[in-house]
Amino acid sequence: LVACQHAPTSSQSQAVDAVGFQQAMTENPDAILLDIRTSEEVAQGKILGATVIDYYSQGFAEKIKALDTTKPILIYCAVGGRSQSALPILSEAGFTQIYHLSSGIQGWIQEGYTIEK
């Protein structure tokens, strides 16, 4: 009987390196790509197609809740700290498939991937 019960939906977050992040982008073309750095940081360049919501902005959690939680989300910051801290917020908002770029955009650039300015 236990097998017939539905388990509650739980979020799955995966910390991935730049190669894994690129692969997740390719495998999930409709995913939300989220940059949570400050506007000053974003001015130096971001991953093409990223939506920007500053982690330090007022109402960050509310802005996250306005996103489509039925889609996978790929999140990054500068070096991985803020995006790691944002994982519980994403989960609480209802995201169930979360990819976190553990090395941040710095790791992305070091791996040779491009950014847009």
DSSP conformation class of 3? G
Interatomic CA distance for residues 36 and 67, integer angstroms: 14
Interatomic CA distance for residues 91 and 106, integer angstroms: 25
State residue 10's pLDDT score.
58
Confidence of residue 26 (pLDDT cuts 50, 70, 90): very high
Mean pLDDT across 51-72: 97
State residue 85's pLDDT score.
97
State residue 12's pLDDT score.
85
Q: Is there a contact between 37 and 55 (Cβ–Cβ < 8 Å)?
A: yes
Whether residue 23 has pLDDT greater than 50? yes
The model's pTM: 0.90
Q: Is there a contact between 100 and 14 (Cβ–Cβ < 8 Å)?
A: yes
